[in-house]
A and B are shown apart, each in its own frame.
Chain A
Amino acid sequence: MKLEILKELNAERAARRPVIVVTDTASGEQRLVKARDIGSDPLRAELAKQLRMGKSGNVEVGGKKLFLNVYAPTARLVIIGAVHISQALAPLARSLDYDVAIVDPRTAFASPERFPDVKLIAEWPDIALPPLNVDHYTAFVAVTHDPKIDDPALLHAFAKDCFYIGALGSRKTHAKRVERLRAQGASESDIARIHAPIGLDIGAVSPAEIAVSIMAEITAQLRLPPREKEQAA
């Protein structure tokens, strides 16, 4: 790999923009395609397909065997609420290679003593979220149980097309939340994207077990093809 390609690859990845490196494995010839340039690329159909699946793979074009290496941004987890569950969720998510950020305006909760080594932002969502550049490669969970904090955060997650959106609360709590979000302009398809009650149903009781059920659900959302995903949910 030429140093220029490697530098560009690292720069795009640092900016959380997807990139595909196309390699002719016979000759070693290589080029880098940025996500925004895929539409005008001669291999656009193949590139778009691999990027959609988030999977690297081989294609044969004009007698040449090409390896398409997809570099999708590292998955992130944004947690709204520096609560007990978050204390278990943050280290678990990090062990699964997620970049983690926690947002909670209540400084008694959002204290570094409770959350060592985690990006912690003690601000309201309207201030904390815009600089985080929440994107499609972000899993977003709201666990404060406080509508003043959770609701605006969820509206932000809808707008940013997060691949997973989850909210803590019983069916009853969620029904009330849905009413409030509708009143604030959320569409039915936005509402349908919320996983609530949050997490896979594994009978989780302790904060650590709830964290496992949440990360299992997020993993299913990230990795399973669409049909199997519905069965897991």
Chain B
Amino acid sequence: MLNRDEDILKAAEDWQKAGHGVALATVVETWGSAPRPAGSSLVINDDGTFLGSVSGGCVEGAVVTEALDVIASGKPRMLEFGVADETAWNVGLSCGGTIRVFVEKVG
């Protein structure tokens, strides 16, 4: 079953209440043929467990890594992914789009 946004946000609340460090990653801007529209989100806890998606699975790994840093520091961060960045190919978007993802701590 796919995770709907509401399940994702409910999980964020439940994890936070259970004492986890939690971060929310949200697609805030897209260019070209990005796989998920602005507003799509991913929630991550300090175990590295995550729900939802910000792309078709291309950049989730990198977002989770950054999110763990955000949970530790408490400071929000803006991430950008696209194919233009050759060095980022491994975590790039194969569809040719570019996305910006806002990562913030919950709580």
A residues near B (Cβ < 8 Å) are 1-3, 6-7, 9-10, 13-14, 23, 25, 28, 30, 55-58, 67, 69-71, 74, 97
* Contact residues of B: prevailing secondary structure: mixed
- Supposing A1-B104, A3-B107 touch, asked if A10 and B13 sit within 8 A by C-beta, the answer is yes
Set of chain A residues within 8 Å of B107, measured between Cβ atoms: 2-3
Q: Which residues of A contact B26 (CB under 8 A)?
A: 67, 69
Beta-carbon nearest neighbor of A28 in chain B: B76
* Residues of A close to B5: CB separation below 8 A: 71
- The reply to whether B106 and A69 contact each other, CB–CB distance below 8 Å, is no
Is B18 positioned at the interface, with any CB of A under 8 Å from its CB? no
Q: Which residue of A lies closest to B23 (CB)?
A: A1
Tell me how many residue pairs across A and B have CB atoms closer than 8 Å. 62
B6 at the interface (CB under 8 A from A): yes
Q: Are B6 and A10 in contact (CB under 8 A)?
A: yes
B83 interface residue, CB < 8 Å from A?
no
Task: Give the distance in Å from the alpha carbon of A56 to the alpha carbon of B107 in the complex.
Answer: 23
Do A25 and B106 touch (CB < 8 A)? no
Q: For window 18-57 of chain B, which residues contact chain A by CB distance below 8 Å?
A: 24, 26, 28-29, 37-39
Q: Tell me how far the C-beta of B73 lies from the nearest C-beta in chain A, rounded to whole angstroms.
A: 12
Question: Please, which residue of chain A has its CB at the minimum distance from the CB of B12?
Answer: A6
Given A3-B13, A58-B28, A74-B6: A67 touches B102 (CB 8 Å cut-off): yes
Given contacts A23-B102, A28-B104, A74-B6, whether A6 and B37 have CB atoms under 8 Å apart is no
State how many residues of chain B have any CB contact under 8 Å with chain A: 24
**From B4, B9, B37, B38, contact of A10 by CB (8 A):** B9
| Chain A residues closer than 8 Å to B10, beta-carbon distance | 10
User: B residues within 8 A CB of A3?
Assistant: 13, 16, 106-107
- Asked if B88 is at the interface of the complex by the 8 Å CB criterion, the answer is no
CA gap between A14 and B9 in the complex, in Å: 11
Report if A25-B6 is in contact (Cβ < 8 Å); known contacts: A3-B16, A6-B106. no
Chain A residues with CB under 8 A of B95: none
How many angstroms between the C-alpha atoms of A10 and B78 in the bound complex?
24
